Amino acid sequence: MKIIREIKKSECIDLAKVAANSYPGSGLGNASVDRINKWLETIVDDRPNERLIGYFDNGKLLGGLRLLNFKMNLRSKIVNAQGIGLVCVDLLHKKERIAKELMEYTLNNAEKEKVSIILLDPFNVQFYKNMGFGYGTKVYKYMVKPDAFPKGNSKENLIYLNKEEHEELLRDCYNRVYKNTHGLIEKQEYELNNIFDDRNIIIGSMKEGVLQGYLAFTFKKVKNEYTYQNNMIVQEIIYETPEALGELCTFIHSQLDQVQRVIMNMNDEYLEFILSDPTNGLNDGFNTMHCEVSVTGIGKMYRTINLERLMEELKAVLTSTVNFKLKVNIHDNLVQAVNKSVVLNFKDGETYIEDDEYDVEVTIDVSDFSSLILGVIPFSRLIKNGRATISDKNYITAVSSVFTECHPMCLTEF
């Protein structure tokens, strides 16, 4: 008998064994299994917003995943979201549709729990695209020289941060930024623990008792045999004001004698506008014809769950200066019992959800709609690329003005 259900603490060891083989890069052998098992047991015992989901066949665990509940900023609205991680399948049972059934279960369960958006880091982009997940903002790996950061006039507000004195201040600083930044997720407890790991150094810009920005980083040797040449590995940088950013940049600039390159993985495609030289010193990509700036990867992938509920949540920010009625049709074969069409009435700067006549109709796959609603791609480009259809092309500009482009940021890993 096959069943998908929540994993009990006593079953964490079984999931740990499957996960260790599925992610051998994190280590093999009993030590790796024990470490993963300890982490999974912590999730079951101490993290009420997380669950472990398992796929069982006649009582034997053959696959599983980690599911997180959190709040997310979606176009300035705070919505219920879920993150998926640790998707794994027993090596002997790959290609038996176990991962697909786990995802179908999770998506349909998200609808029951009134989740608006599900997101994940894809290990197989094509698999998740077929499951209805759309592309989010790309991840850019920057490797720049410290003196490329601007040198300001002051570092007087910079201090070292530690968990005992500054944890709540750091949480508050991040969450203020989260409430004003599309795509960010409310800071999780495990993230705070990761930031305050004793291997990290944390510098903060503190002004009048308020933390206005911080930089968490560690050092890594350029090569293992090099004693004095290091790179600065940035774990997280958050700032509320240009002044806080300026002080943090000045700090990085001053590390030139110790740091060869500052390495950052981030969604910020505009970082180069801060830097005097954003190039990474590599030449293979363009054979010296162009100066390489960053290595680019697929970032988070996102999936909408319930079209009508999501439109109701976002109607205050999805507006138009043009009065018209738009019908949106979504192709979604995985989430059951969901209304896959909705009529949006844009009238005098307000948006109304109706079940009525309409002026123009748009049809789009759920994966591309997810990217559209996240602001990753303009509607006009989806039309041009044949990824969406519209009944009257005279409305392309009007529809594009509703779904404005605004790339989401995400710092949360799962």
Q: Where are the domains of the chain?
A: 2-115, 140-297, 306-402
CA–CA distance, 205 with 159 (Å, rounded to integer) = 7
252 in Cβ contact with 146 (< 8 Å): yes
Question: Quick one: CATH architecture of 2-115?
Answer: 3-Layer(aba) Sandwich (3.40)
Give the contacts of 322 (CB within 8 A, at least 6 positions apart): 346, 398, 401
Burial, 329: exposed, middle or buried (Cβ in 10 Å; 0-12, 13-18, 19+)? middle
Q: Write down the pLDDT at residue 337.
A: 57
Confirm or reject CATH 3.90.1170.50 for domain 140-297, answering yes or no.
no
Q: What is the pLDDT along the chain (414 residues), one digit of tens a residue?
A: 899 999 999 999 999 999 999 998 877 789 999 999 999 999 999 999 999 999 999 999 999 999 999 999 999 999 999 999 999 999 999 999 999 999 999 999 999 999 999 999 999 999 999 999 999 999 999 999 999 999 998 899 999 999 999 999 999 999 999 999 999 999 988 899 999 999 999 999 999 999 999 999 999 999 988 888 899 999 999 999 999 999 999 999 999 999 999 999 999 999 999 999 999 998 888 888 899 999 999 999 999 999 999 999 999 999 999 999 999 999 998 886 566 899 999 999 999 999 889 999 999 999 999 999 999 999 999 999 999 999 999 999 999 999 999 999 999 988
- Give pTM, 2 decimals: 0.94
Pick the CATH number of 306-402 from 3.90.550.10, 1.20.1630.10, 3.90.380.10, 3.30.1050.10: 3.30.1050.10
Residue 91: HSE in the Cβ half-sphere, 13 Å Cα cutoff = 8
CA–CA distance, 293 with 285 (Å, rounded to integer) = 10
170 in Cβ contact with 160 (< 8 Å): no
Nearest to 102 by CA among 73, 62, 48, 130: 62
86 in Cβ contact with 19 (< 8 Å): yes
CA–CA distance, 314 with 306 (Å, rounded to integer) = 12
The pair of three-digit structure tokens given for residue 23, joined into one six-digit string? 């992610």
Complete DSSP assignment for 271-302: GGGT-S----S--TTTTTSS---EEEE---EE
Q: Write down the pLDDT at residue 29.
A: 85
Q: Fold match between 2-115 and 306-402?
A: no
**Axis crossing angle, helix 307-314 with helix 366-373, rounded to the nearest 10:** 10
